[in-house]
């Protein structure tokens, strides 16, 4: 008899436990965040003179530039009067940014219908130098034109 009661109490206790954790309840689905590709480093900022600021592609704030700062696609760089900076691209081509200028680092992969470019100059002057134009290339887009220097296409 005692054994039977003990058995019933055990079964009831199990039932009570299972109320808090129903067998058919599924665990919450894992939260999947969309895969964001890491930003592509395209150039480096050097030779800073005066007030130079950088705006990251994902930000709204103009940050003070720092020597050796990496520049990623869609970042923007601006200089004020009397300021200047040097942008060194991964392929070795160098662009000197003059005073009172605003430029953007272009995307690595062009959008459909757009030609490949490295740099967009919205205002001001840039001086560009390609040490080895047989191997290097540089493309500068402005509101009026696209300027290409060096080798047109580097075939594999």
- Shortest gap between Cβ of 113 and another protein (angstroms)? 7
47 three-class SS: strand
Options 45, 48, 83, 140; binder of another protein; rule CB under 8 A: 140
Using rule CB under 8 A, residue 82 touches another protein: no
Nearer to another protein, 74 or 96 (CB): 96
Strand 76-79 relative to strand 102-105, pairing: antiparallel
Rg value, the chain, Cα: 30
Strand 70-72 relative to strand 84-89, pairing: unpaired
Nearer to another protein, 66 or 146 (CB): 146
Closest to 74 (Cα-Cα) out of 46, 100, 106: 106
Q: Across the strands, what pairs with 62?
A: 55
Integer distance in angstroms from the first to the last C-alpha of the chain? 88
Stretch that binds another protein, among 49-57, 61-69, 70-78, 140-148 (CB under 8 A): 140-148
Using rule CB under 8 A, residue 18 touches another protein: no
Nearer to another protein, 17 or 145 (CB): 145
Q: Site mask, another protein, residues 108-137, x = CB under 8 A?
A: ----xx-x-----xxxxxxxxxxxxxx---
Residue 119 to residue 43: CA distance in whole angstroms:
10
Q: Could you list the residues that contact another protein (CB under 8 A)?
A: 112-113, 115, 121-134, 140, 142-153, 155
């Amino acid at each position: 008899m005692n054994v039977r009661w003990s058995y019933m109490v055990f079964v009831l206790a199990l039932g009570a436990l299972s109320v808090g954790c129903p067998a058919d309840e599924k665990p919450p689905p894992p939260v999947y965040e969309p895969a964001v590709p890491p930003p592509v480093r395209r150039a480096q900022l050097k030779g800073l003179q005066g007030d130079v600021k950088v705006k990251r592609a994902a930000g709204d704030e103009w940050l003070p530039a720092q020597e050796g700062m990496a520049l990623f696609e869609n970042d923007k760089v601006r200089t004020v009067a009397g300021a200047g900076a040097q942008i060194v691209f991964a392929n070795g081509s160098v662009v000197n940014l003059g005073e009172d200028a605003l430029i953007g680092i272009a995307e690595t992969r062009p959008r459909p219908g757009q030609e490949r470019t490295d740099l967009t100059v919205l205002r001001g002057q840039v001086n560009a130098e390609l040490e080895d134009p047989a191997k290097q290339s540089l493309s500068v887009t402005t509101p009026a034109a696209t300027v290409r220097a060096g080798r047109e296409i580097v075939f594999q």
